[in-house]
């Protein structure tokens, strides 16, 4: 029986290029050597069929090549698509994502965060359920954290890609008020145990400024749960004339509830989403929503996570500002 071919090592690449093993290692990681040398090493490695031994690399560098990705709720379409894109970006940088879903539960979120610390990930990127939880300060001392969405209160992060939720909420409510709506239902995934998220807080402040009534209801991202929550709001004798949903996934539930109740969108009910999912353009009518530019969010997050995993975080804060993407789901309310 033929013996398996010997694994190509970093020594073989060093001999082929006339460089030291240390120089080859630096070139593989894009450190301390010229672009020309990096290209020469990569070309030789490809010709020889060299693949980095992850165990040896971890022992030599003290890094595992693993990045923890802890997301608030993967029932949400935006979060699903963002995690997929982020995982691909990390893989392109020769890093592997350990993806965990908090399921919207703050207690579960803490347990999973601590488990990722135990797994010795090089960095952790998270879209938090509870950004104000005190345990984040302790976790941040043990592993570099990059946060997406809302900034963490009291924890020193390695990087932040935060959403300007004040602008997003203002865009949404001013659009509905300009159409003539004066009673707006708000469907949010925020639980009573985490009431201080910036977006939800700003809804109340903006409603008061604009002189409109808002009814805030908790709704999970899953279609069945979102539909049930929207049904309860819309079945009320004094139902709102518009609903503003803090995710497109929840807005899909509002469409389903309106259909079940015989309400026409937008003639009987205006619906507005919050994260511009491509599938929302396929709804009838297409959803009016707030667009945060997911591609830019993923690129900024991957850049900050890579720096944090390499031990060179820049403590950068990227603020994403939204735009309104108008579909056909919002219109002036019916009179009477």
Q: Give the integer Cα–Cα distance in Å for 189 and 229.
A: 10
Question: Does the residue 60 lie in any domain?
Answer: no
What pLDDT does 4 receive?
45
One domain, residues 264 and 174: yes
One domain, residues 155 and 188: no
* CATH code at position 243: 3.40.50.2300
One domain, residues 266 and 315: no
One domain, residues 193 and 149: no
What pLDDT does 59 receive?
42
Question: Does the residue 88 lie in any domain?
Answer: yes
One domain, residues 224 and 269: yes
The answer to whether the CB of 97 falls within 8 A of the CB of 87 is yes
Question: Does the residue 1 lie in any domain?
Answer: no
Residue range(s) defining the domain that contains residue 215: 165-291
Question: Does the residue 236 lie in any domain?
Answer: yes
SS3 of the chain:
CCCCCCCCCHHHHHHHHCCCHHHHHHHHCCCCCCHHHHHHHHHHHHHHCCCCCHHHHHHHHCCCCEEEEEECCCCCHHHHHHHHHHHHHHHHCCCEEEEEECCCCHHHHHHHHHHHHHCCCCEEEEECCCCCCCHHHHHHHHCCEEEEECCCCCCCCCEEEEECHHHHHHHHHHHHHHHCCCEEEEEECCCCCCCCCHHHHHHHHHHHHHCCEEEEEECCCCHHHHHHHHHHHHCCCCCCCEEEECCHHHHHHHHHHHHHCCCCCCCCCEEECCCCCHHHHHCCCCCEEEECCHHHHHHHHHHHHHHHHCCCCCCEEEEECCEEECCCCCCCCCCC
Question: Does the residue 5 lie in any domain?
Answer: no
Question: Does the residue 4 lie in any domain?
Answer: no
pLDDT in tens, the chain (336 residues): 344 456 788 788 889 999 888 888 778 766 667 888 888 888 888 888 877 655 455 445 556 789 999 999 999 999 999 999 999 999 888 888 999 999 989 999 999 999 999 989 999 999 999 999 999 999 999 999 999 998 898 899 999 999 999 999 999 999 999 999 999 999 998 876 555 566 678 899 999 999 999 999 999 999 999 999 999 999 988 999 999 999 999 999 999 999 999 999 999 999 999 999 999 999 999 999 999 999 999 999 999 999 888 877 666 889 999 999 999 999 999 875
Task: Specify the residue for token string 């970093």.
Answer: 10
Q: What are phi and psi of 108, to 5 degrees?
A: -65, -35
One domain, residues 148 and 187: no
One domain, residues 141 and 254: no
Question: Does the residue 327 lie in any domain?
Answer: no
One domain, residues 287 and 170: yes
One domain, residues 266 and 285: yes
One domain, residues 287 and 298: no
**Total of domains in the chain:** 3
Question: Does the residue 201 lie in any domain?
Answer: yes
One domain, residues 172 and 155: no
One domain, residues 198 and 286: yes
């Amino acid at each position: 029986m033929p013996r398996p071919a010997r694994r190509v090592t970093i020594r073989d690449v060093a001999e082929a290029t006339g460089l030291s093993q240390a120089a080859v290692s630096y070139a593989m990681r894009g450190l301390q050597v010229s672009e020309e040398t990096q290209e020469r090493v990569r070309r030789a490695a490809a010709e020889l069929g060299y693949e980095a031994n992850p165990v040896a690399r971890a022992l030599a560098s003290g890094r595992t090549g693993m990045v923890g990705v802890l997301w608030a709720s993967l029932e949400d379409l935006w979060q699903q698509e963002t995690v997929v894109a982020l995982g691909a970006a990390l893989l392109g940088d020769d890093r592997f994502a350990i993806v965990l879903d908090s399921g919207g539960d703050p207690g579960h979120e803490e347990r999973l965060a601590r488990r990722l610390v135990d797994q010795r990930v090089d960095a952790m990127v998270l879209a938090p359920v509870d950004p104000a939880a005190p345990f984040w300060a302790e976790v941040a001392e043990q592993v570099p954290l990059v946060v997406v969405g809302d900034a963490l209160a009291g924890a020193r992060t390695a990087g932040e890609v935060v959403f300007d939720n004040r602008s997003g909420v203002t865009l949404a409510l001013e659009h509905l008020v300009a159409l003539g709506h004066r009673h707006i239902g708000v469907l949010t995934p925020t639980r009573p145990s985490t009431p201080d998220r910036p977006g939800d807080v700003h809804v109340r402040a903006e409603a008061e400024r604009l002189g409109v009534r808002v009814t805030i209801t908790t709704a999970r991202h899953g279609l069945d749960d979102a539909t049930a929550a929207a049904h309860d709001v819309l079945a009320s004798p004094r139902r709102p004339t518009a609903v503003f949903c803090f995710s497109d996934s929840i807005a899909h539930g509002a469409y389903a509830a309106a259909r079940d109740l015989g309400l026409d969108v937008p003639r009987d009910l205006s619906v507005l989403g919050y994260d511009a999912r491509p599938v929302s353009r396929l709804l009838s009518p297409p959803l009016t929503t707030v667009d945060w530019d997911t591609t830019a969010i993923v690129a900024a997050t991957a850049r900050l996570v890579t720096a944090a995993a390499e031990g060179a975080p820049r403590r950068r804060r990227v603020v994403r500002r939204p735009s309104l993407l108008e579909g056909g789901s919002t219109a002036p309310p019916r009179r009477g």
